[in-house]
Structure formats: structure tokens, C-alpha cells
Copies of this chain bind each other. A is one copy, B any other.
Amino acid sequence: MMSSLHDLSDLRICILGGGQLGWMTILEGRKYPLTFYVVDEPDAPACRIADKCYDPRDYRYAVDSSDIVTFEFEHVHSDALNYADERGKLLPRLSSVVLKRERWLEKEFYRKHNIATPKFYIHDDLNEVISTVKNEFNYYTVIKRSRGGYDGKGQYFIKSKEDLERCIDVLSKVKDVLIVEELVDFDFEASLIAVRNNSRFTNYPPTYNYNEGGILIYNYGPLAEDGIVKKMVEITKKISDTLNYVGVIGVEFFVKDDNVLVNEFAPRVHNTGHYTLDAATTSQFEQHLRAITGVELGDTSLLSYGGMVNILGLSLSEVPLDVLRFGIIYWYHKKEVRKRRKMGHINIVGRDLRDVETKISNVMGILYPNGVKPLI
């Protein structure tokens, strides 16, 4: 049982993965008397500000030297994730990671626990895939690889016979299981960021999300408290409780009329929760640290309306300083610019949703004068 800050100062937190999520976790964590290790290459954003950076090949040493191991991304360093879990140090626990390693396990988890999700079929034979696309969904589907999918990777959106035919070649080369999912004609996408520890669950209000090509472009909120929001909270609580989850969790939804369908969950801090750094009492990053270290969870209420615009595939010289008139920049200091790569984001606060929307639209116009398409 911890009683003073001194107990925190004994804790060495190891973060597997050194991307922007780990970077923001350490930035927020620096306010606490904690020590941060990161497992990633030395030029990774989080490694640049960690107390120590471990080469991924030395993950055993990193885990052994740490008191608590967490991760900023569930799709890397799988040996390290396994090893930390075996040592009883991993939070959130491996049970949530396992569901993300194979998308079909995540989908089956929803089915088993009666959690509404788009209709789906799991196939390991291309002919079955084709037949399902045709006969069950009349070509209106998204085909997803079971492994390694995030930010729209490994997903194929089909709306016609021709779309399907264009994909056949690629799909025939896929070795893992494929999921054929109903393409939901949603009214909007939303997500909910929540946090759970051994004694409590609490959530931030959900946000509207705008994705293109499977990658988040911007989001903002909060959504007005109503029946839909209530359903999102219930679902997120059910997922968290079922997994006996500890840490921050992000759940993405499709909303159509009064219906709420889970798209997927992320067992970590989430891109749609970045606005909490500036618009909420406690940020999702600090909240995650509170949860895994056993400190009382922070207040999740918002101080204002807020949102965020991702900076995708742009170099420093392609980001006009003008954007700083509308918000707060977070530049991730990544070594290389790549197409679709998240290079930074702009956090926005406002006095109401309209104000936030206007600022987002201004920032979008400055960052992407030719639209976001060419960059993703």
C-alpha cells in the first residue's frame, strides 16, 4: 500500500515502444517523481526524453530492471510483451494484447460477450471470402487481415464487384485469416477514452472522429450526453471489466441512428484522446500512469470543448506557423517524414462545439490546402 510520493519515486516504468504515445506519456510523467525506461531505437521520440533507452534486443534486461511494464503500441515487441507478462509486470495485462494480435479473436470476443459490432465472417479460404462478399453483403464490405492492422493498414474497402476484383490479387497472397465485415453506412464515428484500475472505472466524454483511408484526421467533442453516449460507456465498461483491465483504453464506435457498434478497441492511450492534454482536468497520459502505478485516478471532466488535428506526412517546413494561432502544437520529433506518418498534432480548445469546429477547419485549411488525400 503506497502512502507518500516517496513510494512512487521507487518505481521504474518501462514503456515498450518509443513513438509519440510513449513520448507524451513521459512528458506528462515528468511531473511525477518516476523513472522512465523505453524499449526502442535511440532516435525514437520517447527515447529522446527517457531516463534510459534499451535496444529492443535487450528487452529482457529492460523488463528485469523495471517495476512496471506498459506499452504504447500493442503490435510491436511481442517477445517483450510476453516476457513482461510472465514476470507479472505488464499492465494492461497480456489478455488484452492477445485480442489485438489476431483481429478475429477480438471479433469473437465481442460476439461471445454480446457486444454489438458490425456483422462479420471469419475465413481462411479466398473462395469463402468471395462468396461472403457477394452473397451475404452484396459487395458492401471491408475485408481485414487478422494480423498487424492499424491506421487502416491491411484493410480493403469494397463497394462493388469491380472493387472486389481489384483486390483479389493482393488477397490471394495473404497468408493469415481474413475477416469479412459489413461496411457500416454510419452517421458518424466516435470514440471513448476510459481508465480502469483495480477499484474504479471512469471515462472521458466521447468525441466525434473523422477518418480518411482508415487513419484519423481530426476529432473533437464532447458529444452531448444522451442514450448513445450511455451505450458507449456501458460497452467500454463491459470490455474493461471483462478483461480485468488496468490502464487507459480507447474504444472506437460507429453510430447509426440510435445504434452503437464497436469498431475496435485499443489497449492503450489513443489518438482521439490527445485533446485531453489541453481540454481535460487530467490528461489520458497522466491517467494511464495513475492507473498502472496505483495512484487514485484523476478527474476526467473536461474544462472546455476540445479537439485535435493530426499532422500527417508533413515536414517541419510544410507546417506554416500560422497554425499556432488556432491551437497548441505537439511536434513528435520523428527522424523521417513518411506518407501517412503522424508527425505531430494540433490541440484545439474552444468555448463551444461550433468554435472548435471553426478552428479545426482553419487548421485543416492551413495544413492541407490541397486536401488531405495526397498525403495519406
Contact = CB atoms under 8 A, between A and B. Distances in A.
A5 B325 contact: no
Contacts of A9: 316
Interface stretch (A29-37, A144-152, A173-181, A210-218): A29-37
A125 interface: no
A324 B349 contact: no
Interface stretch (A64-72, A103-111, A277-285): A277-285
A320 B286 contact: no
Contact of A315 (B6, B32, B349): B6
Contacts of A317: 4-6
A43 to B, nearest CB: 14
Taken together, the copies of this chain in the complex come to 2
Given A296-B324, A316-B5, A30 B33 contact: no
A127 interface: no
Contacts of A316: 4-6, 8-9, 33
Nearest to A323: B5
B303 A279 contact: yes
Interface stretch (A85-93, A112-120, A328-336): A328-336
A288 interface: no
A328 B283 CA distance: 10
Q: Which of A7, A9, A30: most chain B CB closer than 10 A?
A: A30
Contact of A304 (B2, B4, B303): B303
Contacts of A303: 279, 303-304, 349
A9 B329 CA distance: 13
Given A32-B331, A298-B324, A318 B27 contact: no
A34 to B, nearest CB: 9
A321 interface: yes
Q: Which of A286, A304, A324, A329: most chain B CB closer than 10 A?
A: A324
Interface of A: 2-9, 27, 30-33, 49, 278-279, 281-282, 286, 290, 295-296, 298-299, 303-304, 315-322, 324-325, 328-331, 333, 349
Given A4-B319, A33-B331, A33-B333, 16 more contacts: A3-B320, A4-B317, A4-B318, A4-B321, A5-B319, A5-B321, A6-B319, A30-B49, A31-B330, A32-B329, A282-B328, A286-B328, A290-B324, A296-B321, A298-B328, A303-B349
